[in-house]
Amino acid sequence: MLLLAISPVLSGCDEPASAVAAQPVAIPEVSFVAVKPQPFAVVRELPGRIAPTRIADVRPQVSGIIVERMFHQGSDVKAGDPLYKIDPKPFEVDLMAQEAALAKAAAVLDQATRHAKRIETLTHQHVASEAQHETAIAAKRQAEADVAARKADVARSRLNLGYATIRAPINGRIGAALVSEGALVVPNDTTNLASIQQLDPIYADFTQSVSDLNKLRRAFARGDLEQIEPGAAKIRLIVDDGAYSHTGKLLFSEAKVNAETGQVTLRGEFPNPNGELLPGMYVRVLIEQGIDTDAIAVPQQAVQRSRDGGSEVFVVRPDNRIAVQPVRTGAVHGGKWLITDGLKAGDRVVVEGFQKFAAGDEVKPQPLREVATGAIASDDIIKATPASVSD
């Protein structure tokens, strides 16, 4: 009788479970991107150092005692700005002496000229001989030469007086003052007075291995990459706090290889209006070296790691079931992986909803919104490593 009494209760408990079991399982929704080959610029990231475009050591051209320093250390100077002043008094006295010698030579020339004219007149009147005439002409020419020599002495003295004020030879930023007031300076001394470096524009010197260059040439020969037109290559810098705001241009590549490192040196030029780049800074240089006309790239979160350490993606098959597709990746840039092998145009690659399914499950695919992830645009730059080129 007890069993008969509780049997309705047990039957009532079984009804919700059967109802739950009867409900259909919901098909999970996933987001995908359709693979579409598009052209991408292949960029190398290379280590480099910043170097000034010009360096000038400030040196004296005359001997003397420094009496004044006329610049602030670490300031920007322009060509011709006064930097040091050497005691000018000895040069002023020498200039006065040379000017006096010039005046004396001019007086002698005036006398010789008048005497030559008188002798010429007397010679025409047959009063003076031809020998006397020739002697007077020679004396006049000697006086003219002496005047020219004295003028040169005056010019030299005036030049030395001008050299008493040491001026900046180039535009740039001047460093520390290496001498102070009271120091004796002489020409051709090994110690310079200061150094000036031109920082705008500024150079970035960087190196690339010759093996990478050869791989790049082979990629061009196979047709995997297209060369950028001469003069169209642009380079960018990556500094400690991110990308440098100005784009530079490639100047040259050396025609020889460093025998010790196997590297080839390249040089780029960048504008530096705010003085952000300083000589000796370590930077990373991004240089465009080719274009992959049919590159395939997928969002970074779409690429998963397999148990054996390889790369794979989940692909939605035509019957809306999930399949695992092994892929070979190149480089990652801008949140996207460059896929060198394993995908073809039209493949639907899952990028969201991985926790909702397993391989072989049926899913409800939805196109990924471009606003949420950033569409793969044709002007995206894919940064290629040497391994990706060899692949």
Tokens 């706090």 belong to residue:
241
pLDDT (0 to 100) of residue 382: 41
Predicted confidence at residue 336, as pLDDT, reads 77
Domain with CATH 1.10.287 in the chain: 89-163
Closest CA to 56 of 79, 85, 73: 79
Q: Are 170 and 56 in contact (CB under 8 A)?
A: yes
Rounded Cα distance between 222 and 215, Å, is 11
Measured over the CA atoms of residue 298, residue 300, residue 302 and residue 306, the dihedral's sign is: positive
In the chain, where does the domain assigned CATH 2.40.30.170 lie? Answer: 30-51+200-390
Beta bridge partners of 166: 84
What value, to the nearest 5°, has the Cα angle with vertex 390 and ends 388 and 391?
65
Give the per-residue pLDDT at 380: 41
Q: What is the pLDDT of residue 95?
A: 93
Confidence at residue 105, expressed as pLDDT on a 0 to 100 scale: 92
Regions in the chain scoring below 50 on pLDDT: 1, 4, 9-10, 12, 15, 17-20, 22, 231, 371-391
CATH ID of 60-86+165-191, from 2.40.50.100, 3.10.20.30, 3.20.20.70, 3.40.50.880: 2.40.50.100
CA–CA separation, 100 vs 90, rounded Å?
A: 16
The DSSP bridge pattern shows strands 311-316 and 348-352 to be antiparallel
- What is the C-alpha to C-alpha distance for residues 18 and 16, in angstroms, rounded to an integer? 5
Residues of the chain with CATH 2.40.50.100: 60-86+165-191
Model pLDDT, residue 42: 67
When the candidates are 1.10.1760, 1.25.40, 2.30.170, 1.10.287, the CATH number that belongs to 89-163 is 1.10.287
Residue 327: per-residue pLDDT: 87
CATH fold of 30-51+200-390 reads Elongation Factor Tu (Ef-tu); domain 3 (2.40.30)
- What pLDDT does 165 receive? 93
- Residues found in the chain: 391
Report yes or no: 32 and 313 within 8 Å, Cβ to Cβ. Answer: no
Q: At what angle do helices 89-124 and 130-163 cross, to 10 degrees?
A: 160
**Mapping DSSP to helix (H, G, I), strand (E, B) and coil, where does residue 131 land?**
helix
